Structure 1
Amino acid sequence: MGKKMATGHHLFFCANERDSGKCCLNKHSKKVQKHAKKRVKELGLKGDEKIRINQTDCLGLCGSGPVVVVYPEGVWYSYQDNDDIDRIVEQHLLGGKVVKKLVI
């Protein structure tokens, strides 16, 4: 499979923490965000003109979390592990196709 150039994407990982424990941070969002950064770097896609990855406060979908939002498309994903993030990177960012099974 030929690699497409992913340009101008920005991923926001919810890293909010709530006292109730029902939050993205308690579902390992920071650990998975680090994996996403590593994967993007391995693929040579890191940087302002390519893919940027940041954490954010509450995105308001705690019950569906952990949550990542991909811009400029505005696609909201719920993920469970590094494999889900790899799918988002490979299918959405590189392939240009929304990963429908992860969309919320």
Structure 2
Amino acid sequence: MSSPESVASYYRLHVFVCTHQRPAEEARRGCGDRGSAAARDHLKRRAKELGLGEVRINNAGCLGRCALGPVLVIYPDAAWYRFDSIADIDEILDRHLGRGERVERLLLDGPVTPVLTA
């Protein structure tokens, strides 16, 4: 069996976009209730058009940042972003995924610790 250090990563970066939707009767809104699925689709399409085959973009269930959302996280960089528009997604795509630069204005503030949701 291979050790984790000897296993090559399949992707240079792995992006998880929260698309969680909460039931309509819940007061708290999920990222999916704020257009994150359309943002994810745009991100996937543009990454493919730009030839970023070493970047994988996936759905995620609740990432526990509902009050800050919509959100996405990029691994292995552990960069947590919030976004409000397709322009924000394009900036993350160009700067972080394309050039390896963090987009400071969109990073979540403070350490990201697990938040239990029921």
Range into which the TM-score falls when normalised by the shorter chain: 0.7 to 0.9
User: Displacement, 1:61?
Assistant: 0.4
Deviation readout 1:59-95 (Å, 9 max, x if unpaired): 0000000000011100000001111111011111111
Counterpart selection for 2:52 from 40, 45, 62? 45
Based on CA coordinates, which of the two structures has the bigger radius of gyration? 2
Aligned to 1:3: none
Number of residue pairs the alignment of both structures matches: 95
Using the TM superposition, name which of 20-29 and 62-71 deviates more.
20-29
Aligned to 1:25: 32
**Consecutive unaligned residues in structure 2, runs of 5 or more:** 1-10, 109-118
Counterpart selection for 1:97 from 95, 98, 101? 101
Counterpart selection for 1:83 from 87, 99, 102? 87
Regions of 4+ moved over 2 Å: none
Identity of aligned residues (%): 40
Q: TM-score, normalised by structure 1?
A: 0.87
**Consecutive unaligned residues in structure 1, runs of 5 or more:** 1-6
Q: CA RMSD in A?
A: 1.1
- Whether 1:54 aligns to 2:54 is no
